[in-house]
Amino acid sequence: MDEAERVAFESEMHQNEDIAADVRLRQEIVLAIRRKGVEDVFRAKEREIRSRSARKWLYLPSALLAACLVIGVFFRIGNVRECKELGESIVLEAVQMRGGADSDEILEAINAGKYEDALCQIETLRMQVPEFDLNSEEGQYDKMQFDNQMEDLDWFEAVAYMRMGKVRKARQCLSAIASNPDGVYASRAAEALKEL
């Protein structure tokens, strides 16, 4: 409506109660429509706030878990490094060997860093259990040599795992060695366990 039309309409409205009532009703409807729109905005905002709050509670434990994982990884990396360094610091020398020539190959493999080969050979040797005549002196001597060799193999295995950085495996082997107080390597295994 232009200005003249509007003035004419308003004048008619003042004189005609029905037109005024219609206009008032229309205004109320429009206000109600706008109010509904505003309410929808508020409800949507409420949903958004609640959703954000719920996500925060989801993200917080996830973030904490991630932080724990990262710390755990760093801790483990540190642990592995220390384990390797400890393994490298242990000198495996010929003078320690009391077993047969097979032990030489295992020792060479460990010192050359071929740990998997060494472990494989250790396993093979363990399975080869000869029979001993314990009634004879010779048989008793052979048994003693065999037991010494087995002790050496246990120690080699522990050192191999340490140099590989396999902390859990190394601990298992060292615990077994340290649990035999009469064993040649018991005290060294106990010391190594303390450091791990």
Burial class (CB in 10 A: 0-12, 13-18, 19+), 154: buried
Residue in this structure with the two tokens 């760093």, named with its chain if needed: 74
Residue 46 as a binder of another protein (CB under 8 A): the answer is yes
For residue 90 the two structure tokens come to 């242990």
Residue 14 as a binder of another protein (CB under 8 A): the answer is no
In Å, what is the CA distance from 113 to each residue of 119, 130, 136? Answer: 11, 29, 41
Closer to another protein by Cβ: residue 25 or 65: 25
Q: Where are the beta strands (DSSP E) in 13-165?
A: none
- Which residues does 114 contact at the CB level (< 8 Å), separation at least 6? none
Residue 25 as a binder of another protein (CB under 8 A): the answer is yes
Shortest Å distance, C-beta 78 to another protein: 43
When binding is defined by CB under 8 A, the residue of 6, 14, 23, 28 that contacts another protein is: 28
Element (H, E) at 195: helix 186-195
Q: Which stretch binds another protein (CB under 8 A): 8-16, 23-31, 130-138, 165-173?
A: 23-31
Q: Which stretch binds another protein (CB under 8 A): 41-49, 89-97, 118-126, 153-161?
A: 41-49
Shortest Å distance, C-beta 5 to another protein: 18
Instruction: Name the residues that contact another protein, by CB under 8 A.
Output: 21-22, 25-26, 28-46, 49
